A and B are shown apart, each in its own frame.
Chain A
Amino acid sequence: MAFQILLNIAIAFIWMLLKNNFTGVEFAIGYIVGLLLLFVLRRFLNFDFYFRRVIAVFKLIVLFIYKLILANIDVIKIVLSPKLNIKPGIIAVPTKLKTEWEVTLLSCLISLTPGTLSMNFSEDGKTIYVHAIHVPDKNEAIKEIHNSFEKAILEVTK
């Protein structure tokens, strides 16, 4: 992956030299040209096109912002309802993610969306203990985390 980025930057520099114009705009155009070249040649060069990961990161960010707004509205509803009609609890969320980096990212994302707060890890790092402000159904809450954030993180690091 690092090799591809290096190659891409090299193509951008060659583009700048060919145009004899050393500005940021030309660099950006060269970079895009390099991306297109890499995309076209990805089969012959025998590697995975790295820009797919960048797109996956953008997808993750958009998903996160969407969840953030949705969950904030939920918490505001709870705060403003005259009777506190909530069922809080700590749930154990098993995770398929392997490296520490991924688990940390997942727990940060869980913490940042309102309504859930990661509290602790199990010894082997396979389970995250999450305090949720309203869990009528435990399995559904776990499934939601699996289907949204874990899936998106797997897309990025796959």
Chain B
Amino acid sequence: MTEIVVSILILLGGAFSILGSIGIVRFPDVYGRLHAATKSATLGVICIIIGTFLYFLLVQELFIGKLLLTILFVFMTAPVVGFMVSKSAYNVGVKLWDQSIQDDLGKAIKKAEKKARQ
């Protein structure tokens, strides 16, 4: 029974990681690719880690706290990476995909520039 649960979790984690990689190839611009790279990968890593944790806890009867800490650190670092990469990409001038329908940040920047000029 435990083996089944553990293998389901690890297979799920692998599947999420593969889907995330497919997303990196398929999405049209930097920002879309960041979605795939930082998110699906996060859930994939978490599933694999929980699977490993349960294996050691139930089969080997070892409580390994480091694995839980790994989840915490992945949660802490992934948003920072996404934030920094997207922010610097926008500041450098990487264009949004041509079918994007909203750009509130661009509007806000233009407004601020106009104010600064006056």
Within 8 A of B (CB), among A112-158: 112-115, 117-120, 122-123, 127, 129, 131, 133, 135, 138
13 interchain pairs, CB-CB under 8 A: A68-B43, A80-B19, A80-B22, A87-B101, A91-B102, A107-B79, A112-B42, A114-B43, A119-B31, A119-B86, A119-B105, A131-B86, A135-B101
Task: Please indicate the chain B residues that have their CB under 8 angstroms from the CB of A88 in the complex.
Answer: 29, 31-32, 96-97, 99-101
B82 on interface, CB distance cutoff 8 Å: yes
Cβ–Cβ contact A76 & B19, under 8 A: yes
A92 on interface, CB distance cutoff 8 Å: yes
Task: Please indicate the chain B residues that have their CB under 8 angstroms from the CB of A138 in the complex.
Answer: 102
Query: Do most interface residues of chain B lie in helix, strand or loop, or is the interface mixed?
Result: helix
How many residue pairs, one in A and one in B, have C-beta atoms under 8 Å apart?
114
Interface residues of A (CB under 8 A from B): 68-69, 71-72, 75-76, 78-80, 84, 86-92, 107-108, 111-115, 117-120, 122-123, 127, 129, 131, 133, 135, 138
Indicate the size class of the contact surface on chain B.
35 or more
Interface residues of B (CB under 8 A from A): 16, 19, 22-23, 26-29, 31-32, 34-36, 38-40, 42-43, 75-76, 78-80, 82-83, 86-87, 90, 96-97, 99-106, 108, 112
Q: Give B102's nearest chain A residue, CB to CB.
A: A89
